[in-house]
Amino acid sequence: MEREVIHTDRAPAAIGPYSQGVRAGEFIFCSGQIPIDPASGEVVGGRIGPQTEQVMRNIGALLESAGCGFASVVKTTIFLTDLADFATVNEIYGRHFPEAPPARSTVQVSALPKGVNIEIEVIAFAGKP
């Protein structure tokens, strides 16, 4: 199976020993994205709305660099530090998947890197490279 690291300057650089994404065969596995502005390297906003918007921009940039987009996403996992934020996240997230949304899991966690409120990881089907 072919394996290729995916990298773009339009999404935050990895803050540890991992890749932003990996193409394995016909699938793209994107590492969890947190609300970091790739230009400044700083966490965006303290509220869940602006943080979710930034996470979705970061995911979009990674998908684009892999030659696909949100329509190619088949599975997502959303990590929230407070499930009370679910409605806001769901509204913003849903704008990116207007038709045939992917499978999804949402879980509450006790903490996320850099003290953020949200992290989202995605798997996309990109077809043959």
Name the residue with tokens 């913003």: 92
Percent of the chain with pLDDT over 70: 98
C-alpha distances (whole Å) from 94 to each of 17, 47, 91, 99 are: 31, 18, 5, 9
> Is 70 exceeded by the pLDDT of residue 128?
no
Over residues 85-93, mean pLDDT: 98
Position 93 scores a pLDDT of 98
Q: Exposed/middle/buried for 17, CB within 10 Å: 0-12, 13-18, 19+?
A: exposed
> Residue range 112-121: average pLDDT?
96
CB 60 within 8 A of CB 96: yes
Residue of 103 and 2 predicted with greater confidence: 103
What is the crossing angle of helices 86-95 and 48-65, to 10°? Answer: 30
What's the fold here for domain 3-125? 60s Ribosomal Protein L30; Chain: A; (3.30.1330)
- Report pLDDT for 30: 97
How many CB atoms sit inside 10 A of residue 18's CB?
A: 11
Between strands 21-24 and 3-6, the pairing is antiparallel
Domain boundaries, the chain: 3-125
For residues 66-70, give the mean pLDDT: 95
pLDDT over 70 at 60, yes or no: yes
What are the two backbone dihedrals, phi and then psi, of residue 83, each rounded to the nearest 5 degrees? -65, -10
